[in-house]
Amino acid sequence: MDAAKECGFAVSLTFIIAALISLTTLLTFNSDELWEFRHKIFRINGTIDSDEDVMSPNLTSCHQSYGRDDLLVYCCPPENPQNLKFIDFKFPEPSKPLRVRKPAHLLDEDYISKYSRAVSIMKSLPYSDPRSFSRQANLHCIFCTGAYDQKYSNISLNIHRAWFFFPWHRMFLHFHERILGSLIGDDTFALPFWNWDSPEGMTIPEMYMNEPLNHKERDGSHFPPKVADIDFVDKESGLGPQEQIEKNLAMMYNQLVSGAKKTELFMGCSYYPGEGGTCDGPGTVELAPHNTLHTWVGSSFNPQREDMGAFYSAARDPLFYAHHSNIDRMWEVWREIHGKNLPISDPAWLGSYFYFYDENLQLVRIKVSDVLDLSKLRYAYEKVNLPWLNKRPKPSVSPKLARQVLNLRDTGGSRFLYAEFGGNARNLEASMTVKVYRPEYQRTKKEKEEEEEVLVVYGIDVESNMYVKFDVYVNIADEMKINPGFREFAGTFVRLPQARSTDIESRKSTLKLGISELIEDLEADGDDSIWVTLLPQTTSCMNTTIDGICIEYMR
């Protein structure tokens, strides 16, 4: 009865809202505005109106795409798309054994032998077989280079830099794992994860240095015992092993704990079908360590550090799957840290669907809502320590000393240059410091719990065929003595290179970073403004412009 009342209320409210908008007003809407209005109605209802209101690929639209500006790639499947038949995804039987994904650096010889055999068989399959390793790699290429259009428009579909990043890759790994297990007749087989968030796992796992898990297109200077740099730029950090580990742990704390307390900050922006639904706003972990480690692994001899350093080629490297297994694990860890009270309830996200071949050569349609419960998918992650959970960074200098420096800057007593945006985009050819006003300050504990203070860098326009990285800091006293291991670090923007030939790459991006905890630690909670510094980390930032910086509050 209560449910019926709620449903009736939602429907009634929908009609009331619709009635309040005159026919004249509706007729003046352009297609984007009309789509936006429709979606607001769907959210009130908690339902979707039709298949057009969820994201899905047009399987008949696969076309050539650009891996680089100078490289046209064709990743499309050989099957005639007109003849494709699919089934809807069904959960494995609850009685099926639970597949447990374990850290790669702790696996024994029996497992390594089993995994190697499965990959060898997968690599030996002909390209006509969708289970083959090359077809698996190309599936990632298709969805990451704009080779598919959206089902009901000619707009490219992309699964990066928005809220489909985590669920799509979970689907991809799920079917990849099932195929590997079936090839060796082992339904308990589980992919390993590269445990780069723990000191013991921060090097490339030894098992990936031998065939068939080895890959020639990697950076040889990053082979074991080199410690991975999860904040990699495009040059070496110069840090010793222990210093690198400490920096990595502080970075992990920021990306999963203090900087990602709200769903959008971690998952990315809300990306809907059609022109009016496009967005470009990746979450913290997609930026780093996801993008940064892709680049760190790829070969420095290749234009875009292929294979791992470029979307079109990344999944050719077996290490890709261990890397993304840990990325998938981070999704679960984040949910545990922040409580399971941060779900996305938007029906347009839950109902969106994609297609994958399973171990039986059957094309399967699977929805986002199908991959939100690991127990239903019959896999789990082995519990390991999270050493970065207690690595809350400390300020580079005492907040009192920093305040003296900032006061000098505020009164013009410093030669430090800074810029107000006005209405013009600013070029990031050099560091940029901007005074940003806080609409709300001296907030109560309850207000902070309800709303996260979010630093927004918007209108980011990059030279998309280059690796781009810049870091964001708050209230730094000396930019020459700062790095992401300090509390002033708010986050980083990282863009893997990709051709600008698609509508995907022509969009400006938005970076959103949670800073409530940072503001407290810098003792700036009572200030009506903060100083935000953007530090370019790559030469490509010379071709990067920013429209503005502001603060918003996110529930």
By annotation, the residues acting in catalysis are 140, 160, 169, 290, 294, 311, 324
Pairing, β 489-495 against β 363-367: unpaired
In the chain, % helix, strand, coil (3-state, to 5) comes to: 40, 15, 45
Q: What is the DSSP string of 338-397?
A: H-TT-----HHHHT-EEEEE-TTS-EEEEEGGGGS-HHHHTEEE-----GGGG-----SS
Handedness of CA 90, 92, 95, 100 (dihedral sign): negative
Q: Are 533 and 490 in contact (CB under 8 A)?
A: no
Q: Is 45 exposed, middle or buried (0-12, 13-18, 19+ CB in 10 A)?
A: middle
Handedness of CA 555, 339, 269, 31 (dihedral sign): negative
- Which residue, 354, 379, 25, 384, is CA-closest to 195? 384
In the sheet that 363-367 helps form, which strands lie side by side, from edge to edge?
86-88, 363-367, 353-357
Between CA 270 and CA 106 the distance in angstroms is: 37
Do β-strands 86-88 and 363-367 pair in parallel, antiparallel, or remain unpaired?
parallel
Taking residue 283's Cβ as centre, other Cβ atoms within 10 Å add up to 25
3-class SS at 411? coil
Contact 141, 147 (CB under 8 A): yes
Helix or strand run (H / E) with residue 548: strand 548-554
Which of 228, 255, 49, 250 has its CA nearest to residue 152?
A: 49
Count of residues in the chain = 555
The amino acid that residue 479 corresponds to is E
DSSP 142-159: HHHTT-SBBTTSSSBP--
| Residues whose CB is less than 8 angstroms from the CB of residue 380 and which lie 6 or more positions away in sequence, other chains included | 98, 99, 100, 101, 374
Q: What angle do CA 278, 281, 283 make, to 5 degrees?
A: 135
CA–CA gap between residue 361 and residue 131 (Å, rounded): 7
Cα 491 to Cα 478: distance, rounded to the nearest angstrom:
17
Separation in Å, CA 307 to CA 206, 363, 382: 19, 27, 29
Q: Which residues on adjacent β-strands are paired with residue 545?
A: 427, 461
Contact partners, residue 262, CB within 8 Å, separation at least 6: 342, 452, 454, 514, 554, 555
